[in-house]
Amino acid sequence: MDVAEELATTLGENPNHTVAAAVMDIDGRVHKAVNVYHFNGGPCAELVALGVAATAGATQLLTIAAAGDRGRGLIPPCGRCRQVLLDQHPDILVAVPGEEGPLMRPIRKLLPDTYFFPDAPTGRVMRFNRRYYEAVLSGQKTSTIRWDETHHVGAATFVFEGHPEFAHLDGSITAIESTTLSELDPEYAAGLRGHYPAMPADAELLRVHFQVQRAE
């Protein structure tokens, strides 16, 4: 967000460049760009940023933000950008303005009930708190309970949020089971509520089984 807003302040009076965007890849690199306005539908800053990231060799993107010129601050993506992000980076988090400040929203929340292109060439991402890195790496932790998230069996990259070295592991989701909050151990359920404060008492959950890819 800060990078996008800072870049937006440098935009001059050229009406063809009025929005800045920044995207962070899985290695913690930030790629920035501006829009190219044209009456026939020039690319938004978010789409240009995707191209810049691809040029730098980035394959998986974690977060994206856009900001307008002339002090407009953080702005949400348009419908076209939302669809592109959902198709190409279905697990990306998008910075949007909220009543009490910026929010990070999963892209699927910004485009509900939309068509999802299942054959889009993209790797999936599953996020963990950084404290689980060693347990996942060693194979001690091989399952996780998730609420209000979408995951699929198949190849995935496990990202450890807040890790100082932007640690991530390649692996796969091997199975997904449905469960409910009431079926969990009370102590575990209480901990899960700390992670998902808005989770209702009758929440339907996913038990996601996974494994880390080991070097041959």
Whether 124-212 and 2-110 are alike in CATH topology: the answer is: no
Asked whether the whole model's pTM tops 0.85, one would answer: yes
Residue from 6, 13, 46, 204 carrying the catalytic annotation: 46
Q: Give the model confidence (pLDDT) of 53-78 as tens digits.
A: 999 999 899 999 999 999 999 999 99
CATH topology for the 124-212 domain: 2.30.130
Helix-helix angle 45-55:79-88, to 10 degrees: 30
> Hey, where are the domains in the chain?
2-110, 124-212
13 is catalytic: no
Q: Give the model confidence (pLDDT) of 17-28 as tens digits.
A: 999 999 999 999
Question: Domain 2-110 class?
Answer: alpha beta
What would you report as the CA-atom Rg of the chain, rounded to the nearest whole angstrom?
A: 19
**What's the rounded Cα separation, in Å, for the pair 64 and 4?**
9
∠ CA 87-92-93, nearest 5°, is 135
